[in-house]
Chain A
Amino acid sequence: MSASIADENENTERLDDASKNEKMFTLKKWNAVAMWSWDVECDTCAICRVQVMDACLRCQAESKKDSYGKQDCVVVWGECNHSFHYCCMSLWVKQNNRCPLCQQEWSIQRMGK
């Protein structure tokens, strides 16, 4: 009786060894995927609906026409922390000096990329 139990134990041990040697799956190759986004409150310009870090709709249309391109389309942040393309915002403040998103009086906090 006790001998047969010992035999069984031996058998299962042998099985474990076998499964260690012949794994069902082997990882041969893997690809890592990383996601990123700009660290800003709103990453799309609400005026032209293009990402603020890309050139605005107007500059994109113009650089297609001029071969030298126009890549100085910068981002502007207001005191209200809303960001837009400088090009888009300068057109808008000509007629209404308010942030289109929060209607606060528009004043520039900083500019750049």
Chain B
Amino acid sequence: MITLSQRLKKQQDDRSAAVNRISIRDKLLIKESQEMSQLLPNNCSVFYENENDLSKFILTVKPTEGYWEGGTFKFAINVTEEYNMVPPTVKCLTRLWHPNITEVGEVCLSLLRQHSMDGLGWSPIRRLNDVVWGLHALFTDLLNFDDPLNIEASDMYRNSKEEFRMKVNEYVMLYAKE
């Protein structure tokens, strides 16, 4: 028989389970946010919209070399409640011409893939610091024309590097200047 008191107890249990999950993420974030800001690359900065919420922040990358040099690129990083079983969600807020980032901000970075069989995807041993360095490297070492998300951009690069460079510059001038 279902009684009111049982139902109330179940509701309370469900709620406390949700609170627990959040607190696990928050406990991990206290250490990881500190580590991340200590090890931040020189040309990156982090901004918290709400100082009491470590789970949402904006990462700013200012590449000092490569095609996107001179631009300022912002990423919204959201660490969901299921962290660290799932990766943070990342969206690029700055429009840019890049083979691994679409014009609407979807980011293709192997370590942000939740279900990956190649061993390069997300794993709970990874930390926020790895995510920041991964995004930072999308403008240098991890720039990948062979597995593109913006196929048009990678095709353009293959056909004419000069055209690609000009389009990147045009976008930087239009959208990525502070």
Contact = CB atoms under 8 A, between A and B. Distances in A.
Interface of A: 46-49, 57-58, 61-62, 65, 88, 91-92, 95-96, 98, 100-101, 103
B124 A100 contact: yes
Which 7 A-B pairs rank lowest in CB-CB distance, beginning with the nearest?
A103-B119, A100-B123, A46-B125, A47-B124, A100-B125, A61-B20, A100-B124
Contacts, number: 40
Contact of A58 (B24, B123, B125): B24
Give the most central of A58, A61, A96, A101: most B CB within 10 Å: A96
B16 A65 contact: yes
Contacts of A62: 20
Contacts of B27: 57, 61
B23 interface: yes
B150 to A, nearest CB: 27
B161 interface: no
Interface in B108-150: 114-116, 119, 121, 123-125
